[in-house]
Structure 1
Amino acid sequence: MTASIARRLAVMFALASLGVFSLLGFSLQYVLHREFDRHQLSEVNTRLDYVGMMCTRNDSAEKWLGLRAKLDALTPLDGSALFWVIGPDPRFEYGDVPAELRERLRNRVDGTFVLELEGRSMLATARTFPPNGERPEVQIISAVDSTRFQDTLNAFAGALVVLGLAGVSAVALLGHRIAKVGLAPLSSLSQEAQSLSPRDLSQRLRLSPLPRELADLVSSFNGALDRVERAYAQLEGFNADVAHELRTPLGNLIGQTQVALAKERTAPELQEVLQSNLEELDRLREIVNDMLFLARADQGETALGRVDTSAAEEVSKTVEFLELFLEEAGVSVRVEGDARASFERSLFRRAASNLLVNAIEHSERGAEIVVAIAQRESQVHIAVTNVGAPIPEQHLERLFDRFYRVDGARRNSRNNHGLGLSIVKAVAKMHGGSVFAKSTNGCNTVGFTLSDVPAVMGGTGISADPA
């Protein structure tokens, strides 16, 4: 299981503080080391300058005896600071010069160097002084013990490590506590979200006591709940509509069959019953096929066999197919404009046919239906206009919903199961287009657009063939 956010933040705080403390520790160690080196060198040179000044003043063997006494006084008992004087005349030498030192200074080389003496590391400086009076040329060496400085550095490094680890631990603990306090609104929000019940889809998370970052998240989540609630409401309405549409033909089938079986029937009577049942079965098949078509369209399937063709030509063929229906309704169709685009012909004709049938059903005898076709940038617009009763604004946006009718009494439900305009919307979507509807000045216009560029929607293809 993934660690909690508070624990992860505490670990990140600890790692960040470890990096900062380490950088500060290394920096302090480096500065302290340089200061100790400078201090040692300053101490060595100061002692050497003082001894050199006394050496210059003591230019005889007699005076040199006094110099030796002063050098003995300047030498600490713990040997943390030492002096040596090397020269050709033993009378003007001082100290028990180690063989290593004498070998190093055989050629009278002046300078600063590190001398290992009896397990101790010492910083030494050698300087040659010219002859003066009875005293010949001598080389004076001043050395201080570096071990004490190194011990101090080691102690300081140990203290830094201990204090650094303690600081990291403290930051981790405080960071964990701070993170828990900071994430308290999130925990409260989680508990509130767990209290949401599927039985009450109107429940929403509260926004007021939350910080801005969580408020944005909760606002988006509440928006998602709004959409889910609307989807459930539409689904419930959709299920009721499906049940209603299927109940009518099924009830007719059952009733007619029961009546036919109630007594003996002649062959013509049975043939009439079977013919009526066949009509109801055809209606059921149309509903099922349309539902399957819309379901496949909702899954993102696209149109197959898109070809470049004339929209006006396809509309004219659709009008010819509906010629008998137009004659029975006593209406005519006029096609205006034209545009060429890439679309699937059978799908286009199905959408155009549904729009024309919808316009015919809502037109008076003698009316004229106008199909306007226009090219606008990369889209083809097909608008079907008929003279009819105005459609209220609140119904226009829902005309393309499944089983939706402006007439609450479900007028013409036997001839129209309320999926025609939904199929128009699905066809437009599969071609990268959209649908539109408006009602002005006694004219109702319903149409769709097709994109001249094939839409990439995922899934496989889909055909308009209802079978």
Structure 2
Amino acid sequence: MKSSVKNSIINRLVLMFAASALVIFSLIGAVLYAVVKGELLRHERDGLYTTFNDIQYMVSHVGTTDRWARVQTKLDTLTPADGKVRFWIFSDDPRFTYGKDLADLHDFDYDPGDVGRLRIKGKEFPMHTLTKVLPAFEDRPPIRLTVGVDTEPYYETLRTFLGAMIGLSAIGVLLVILFGYWIAKAGLQPLKKMSDKAQTLSPKTLSERLAVSALPNELSDLAQAFNGALDRMENAYKQLEAFNADVAHELRTPLANLIGETQVALSRERSAPEFEMVLQSNLEELDRLRSIINDMLFLARSDQGEAATSLSHAVISEEVQKTVDFFEFVLDDSGMSVSVNGDTKARAMIETALFRRALTNLLQNAIQHSSAGAHINIEIHATNDAVQVAVSNPGAPIAPQHLQRLFDRFYRIDSARQDRNGIHGHGLGLAIVKAIARMHGGGAFAASTGGQTTIGFTIGGGRP
């Protein structure tokens, strides 16, 4: 369950929405907090300067003790009961002083003509102060005037604003999560339909495809790729079914022969020469089974990406001629001839045993499907990066639909056609040719024109 939640695209999108919203709200909140803080501070200072100027004008024009008593009375009247605004006047002459806690505040640090902060015992928040030194006037010596304004409203407003911003941000993030989940779920609905459709596929329904036109542009490419994968899977499944049927058919015949001959031999007493004949016949069938199994194992290794490894630089025409010489007696018995033409100096890096095996299969195929006395031509053509070997023999035209499948395993154009010239095949020869060509970085090809059938392969190499 935890893994499902972790790997859910919807949950990932919702988390990204929430993280984005949290970052955005935090940035907006920080900017608004700074703006509000600055505006509150400016407003508080404006009020502080206004109050200070009023008091300064009144105090600066009083220079006698008689009038100073009226100043003190005026200041008492202007001082609110809650102490939100305070006034202090410091002087070397005690007659011209004013304010509470003067002894405690006499030595507090201040910058003349500037604002500052002053903490008073019993108050949670400091006082916002403005201090100036006023020159002597008449009997009054120079005095230091300080006006203080309580900052509690300032800090309380900031605290309230910050709490509101945090609460609104939390609600906003929660709403983004809820709407993000709904949006992501609705937006990914086509993807869920694709997933549901994919889960319904089975070997019996591989022909079904996703409807690309009904999907958003972002998913159409994925749907097309998925349909392409289904095409390849369907073809591979059909090939696998055909391959299994062909394997069963090819193995059934020699096994049936082995069982039948063995049952006949055991049905009554037989002499040693008769049992020897049966064993010899069984050995031929067993050898045929071994050949089929070895070829199937070879093709399986090729399908797994095995490449030719024991490569050597060879002259292709010389390797072709050695393979032709191997068929000398078969050709003589059939009255056939073989010629090697083309680029006789072409060279390539090949695994000699595999190259000869591929060419042997091509020659066997040409001899098997040619009439007695036919002439077989082997053409070598070299380019800058490849060497092509083509084997041509006279024969009946092959339809294009068959040409495309000649290299399929166990494929035969005419299943009723019998082997001739003593050469036995089981439908894997040309498939092996294609596999060997692929192992050398090349491919196989086939053509049928003008009464000539040409089958060949290419390998990496080229002109010397």
Same fold (TM > 0.5): yes
Instruction: Specify which of 343, 349, 353 is matched with residue 346 of structure 1.
Output: 353
**Which deviates more, 316-325 or 171-180?**
171-180
- Cα deviation digits, residues 23-71 of structure 1 (max 9, x gap): 2222222222222222222222222222222233334434334433333
**Alignment pair present for 1:434 and 2:439:** no
Partner of 1:456: none
**2:22–2:169 Cα contact (<8 Å) kept:** yes
Residues 86 and 320 of structure 1, relative CA distance in 2, 3 Å threshold = same
Within 1, Cα distance between the matches of 2:94 and 2:268? 154
Within 2, Cα distance between the matches of 1:388 and 1:245? 26
How many Å apart are 1:328 and its aligned residue? 2.0
Within 2, Cα distance between the matches of 1:269 and 1:86? 142
Residues 425 and 441 of structure 1, relative CA distance in 2, 3 Å threshold = same
How many Å apart are 1:243 and its aligned residue? 2.5
**1:123–1:145 Cα contact (<8 Å) kept:** yes
Partner of 2:159: 154
Consecutive unaligned residues in structure 1, runs of 5 or more: 454-467
SS at match of 1:377: coil
Within 1, Cα distance between the matches of 2:267 and 2:157? 116
**Which deviates more, 196-205 or 152-161?**
196-205
Within 2, Cα distance between the matches of 1:371 and 1:100? 118
SS at match of 1:333: strand
**2:90–2:102 Cα contact (<8 Å) kept:** no
**1:108–1:139 Cα contact (<8 Å) kept:** no
- 1:15-94 counterparts in 2 under 5 A? 15-94=19-98
**Alignment pair present for 1:367 and 2:374:** yes
Q: Which amino acid aligns with 1:232?
A: Y
Residues 261 and 158 of structure 1, relative CA distance in 2, 3 Å threshold = closer
Consecutive unaligned residues in structure 2, runs of 5 or more: none
Within 2, Cα distance between the matches of 1:94 and 1:262? 140
How many Å apart are 1:452 and its aligned residue? 4.4
Partner of 1:7: 11
- 1:354-433 counterparts in 2 under 5 A? 354-412=361-419, 415-433=424-442
Residues 108 and 255 of structure 1, relative CA distance in 2, 3 Å threshold = closer
Instruction: Specify which of 322, 326, 345 is matched with residue 327 of structure 2.
Output: 322
How many Å apart are 1:341 and its aligned residue? 1.8
Number of residue pairs matched? Answer: 452
Residues 103 and 262 of structure 1, relative CA distance in 2, 3 Å threshold = closer
Residues 241 and 104 of structure 1, relative CA distance in 2, 3 Å threshold = closer
Q: Which amino acid aligns with 1:363?
A: S
How many Å apart are 1:317 and its aligned residue? 0.6
**2:128–2:149 Cα contact (<8 Å) kept:** yes
Partner of 1:238: 243
SS at match of 2:205: coil
How many Å apart are 1:442 and its aligned residue? 3.0
Within 2, Cα distance between the matches of 1:266 and 1:111? 133
**Alignment pair present for 1:202 and 2:207:** yes
Within 2, Cα distance between the matches of 1:279 and 1:94? 130
SS at match of 1:86: strand
**1:246–1:284 Cα contact (<8 Å) kept:** yes
TM-score when scaled to structure 1? 0.88
Partner of 1:281: 286
Within 2, Cα distance between the matches of 1:132 and 1:64? 12
Residues 447 and 96 of structure 1, relative CA distance in 2, 3 Å threshold = same
RMSD of Structure 2 on Structure 1 (CA): 2.7
Within 1, Cα distance between the matches of 2:98 and 2:272? 148
Aligned-residue sequence identity (percent) comes to 50
Instruction: Specify which of 279, 292, 297 is matched with residue 297 of structure 2.
Output: 292
**Which deviates more, 291-300 or 405-414?**
405-414
SS at match of 1:202: coil
Residues 372 and 98 of structure 1, relative CA distance in 2, 3 Å threshold = farther
Q: Which amino acid aligns with 1:172?
A: I
